[in-house]
Amino acid sequence: MIRKANKFDIPQIFDMLRHYRDAGNIESVSNITNEETPTMIMTYILAGAGIALVSDNEGTLDGMLLAVKTPQLWDNSNYIMNEICYWVEPEHRGSTIGYRLLKSYVELCDDLKDDGHITNYTISQMNGNTLKYDRFGFKRIEEVWSQ
């Protein structure tokens, strides 16, 4: 079941965040163990300044999508929902979890757009992910490279 996360999900979300971090192969964050920043971000999201979706399999979380609401660069009276972490545990890939998380994210963001709370929303794609975002209406606008 896909649902909005709550404060009781944070320990399992942090476990998945560690898996996400480790899968990213980014040396600058691979040894970070301080959880002050993810705690602050989750507090911000759960307070209503973002979206936290989880895939709940009878109390065990096996996927998540986290996004934060940020002001647009050129006009701080308009906001964008920016996905910051989209993850499905490796043993659950190939199921419908990723699709259902993304579908729920799109539905929530479309509602926020319709209500005037955001002007648009983003999704990123890690190397190896083969999900076709264009079928959800997304348009490719950039690639992110890291060194």
Q: What is the DSSP string of 61-82?
A: EEEEEEEEEEE-SS-TTSEEEE
Task: Find the range with the poorest average confidence among 16-30, 56-70, 94-108.
Answer: 16-30
Residue 142 forms part of a structural domain: no
Residue 141 forms part of a structural domain: no
E strands, the chain, in order? 2-4, 50-57, 60-71, 79-88, 120-122
- With a cut of 50, say whether residue 147 has pLDDT above it: no
Residue 71 forms part of a structural domain: yes
Q: What percent of the chain has pLDDT over 70?
A: 78
Residue 10 forms part of a structural domain: yes
State how far the Cα of 9 lies from the Cα of 145, in Å rounded to an integer. 31
Largest alpha-carbon pair distance within the chain? 44
How many Å from the N-terminal Cα to the C-terminal Cα in the chain? 37
Residue 53 forms part of a structural domain: yes
Residue 54 forms part of a structural domain: yes
Number of domains in the chain: 1
Residue 146 forms part of a structural domain: no
Residue 74 forms part of a structural domain: yes
Q: Among the ranges 12-26, 74-88, 119-133, which has the highest mean pLDDT value?
A: 74-88
Task: Check which CATH number belongs to the domain holding 131 and give it.
Answer: 3.40.630.30
User: If you average pLDDT over residues 132-147, what whole number do you get?
Assistant: 61
Whole-structure pTM value: 0.83
Higher pLDDT, 129 or 145: 129
